[in-house]
Amino acid sequence: MPAKKKRNRRLFSVKEELLKKSREAALAAVQIFNNPNITFKSETFVVLMVIAWTYLLHAYYRKQKVDYRYFTQAPKRKLFHYTKHKAHKHWELERCLNEASCPLDVGVVQNLKFIIGLRHEIEHQMTTRIDDLLSARFQACCINYHEAIALLFGEEYGIAKFLAVSLQFSSLTRQQVETLDDHAGLPANIKKYIEGFDGDLAEGVFDSTKFAYRVIFVPKTANHPNQADQVITFVKQDSDLAKTVNASYAVIKETEKQKWLPSEIVKKLKAEGFPKFSMTVHTELWKSLDAKNSAKGFGVQVAKTWYWYDAWLTEVRKYCTDAGQLYR
């Protein structure tokens, strides 16, 4: 057999094996997440989906003849990087996403980068109560995976027939709905990571279904005999009904609070007629009032930086006003 033909056969064989393992990892992630007897589902889902996407992109780059092994380019040849057991070091998922020829759009890439960062957080310590909070992003990850593998390799590789909507067997009471966003017990490191990641997203990415797939369920009485057993009704995204629902939902969803850096607080107060108000005074003020106590709701820490909300700006403004001419 000619060497070129043998090489092409080997390339095809490895690509097929990568796709097979990729699909198995993705399906395992979905099955575990939908298993009501497993309480470690989000953590397992994240790890398995990172593997699934990594193998998928390895298969794509192999198909495109892009070398996804780490190497240093010497004058005459490539000097490959190896593990301590002498295996080639292949690109991790984030490196695959950063490649100029990556075929995924920005919403898919940001969804995956969120999941990669989440994996970094959960692999070092135990987490709790993140399943409900992040399910929209996980759902988007699954749909994105199916669409990507079907588009890049053909519909026969898709996993849509294995994906199903998880059913909740009891109705949500008004009290349950009102406390869904409370997330008591959410680990502090996860909360800070989510706030930091979302705060850095470009405009429009957060609302993209590629980043997080959100579905609104409403009670509906059947108006046709054939619909009597249909629990969920799907409508086209660009339909008048969908536009109406999205517009109504936008009215009630919580908006992101304005955040201020300490230096911005000081600058704003100076501009408002308190030129003698300084960073030192500001620091002494928040310490005296224990303003960084989360129970007071004056601000939030994102990554390693503390941000103040409008409530604190109002408090500082009142303090300066009550001080009379002291800071004027």
Separation CA 68–CA 92 (nearest Å): 9
Closest residue by Cα to residue 148 from 54, 45, 44:
54
> pLDDT by residue (tens digit) across 218-230?
444 445 544 444 4
What 3-state class would DSSP assign to 73?
Answer: strand
What 3-state class would DSSP assign to 215?
Answer: coil
Q: Please report which confidence band the pLDDT of residue 255 belongs to, taking 50, 70 and 90 as the band edges.
A: very low
> pLDDT by residue (tens digit) across 21-70?
999 999 898 888 888 788 778 888 899 999 999 999 999 999 999 999 98
> pLDDT by residue (tens digit) across 138-194?
888 888 898 899 899 988 888 776 655 443 333 334 443 343 344 445 566 666 777
* pLDDT at position 102: 93
Residue 73: beta bridge partners?
78
Residue 326 CB contacts under 8 Å (≥ 6 apart), including other chains: 276
* pLDDT at position 75: 86
Answering whether pTM is above 0.85, one says: no
Distance separating the N- and C-terminal Cα atoms of the chain: 89
Q: What is the DSSP letter of 67?
A: -
Residue 138, CA atoms < 13 Å, CB-side half-sphere: 28
What is the C-alpha R_g of the chain? Answer: 26
Amino acid present at 283: T
**Phi, psi dihedrals of residue 300, rounded to the nearest 5°:** -155, 145
Residue 305: beta bridge partners?
302
Q: What is the DSSP letter of 225?
A: G
Structure-token match 């403004």, residue found: 317
Amino acid present at 98: N
Top-confidence residue, 209 or 248: 209
Q: Please report which confidence band the pLDDT of residue 197 belongs to, taking 50, 70 and 90 as the band edges.
A: confident
Residue 306: beta bridge partners?
301
**At residue 325, does pLDDT exceed 80?**
yes
* pLDDT at position 230: 43
* pLDDT at position 247: 52
Residue 82: beta bridge partners?
88
Q: How many CB atoms lie within 10 A of CB 237?
A: 9
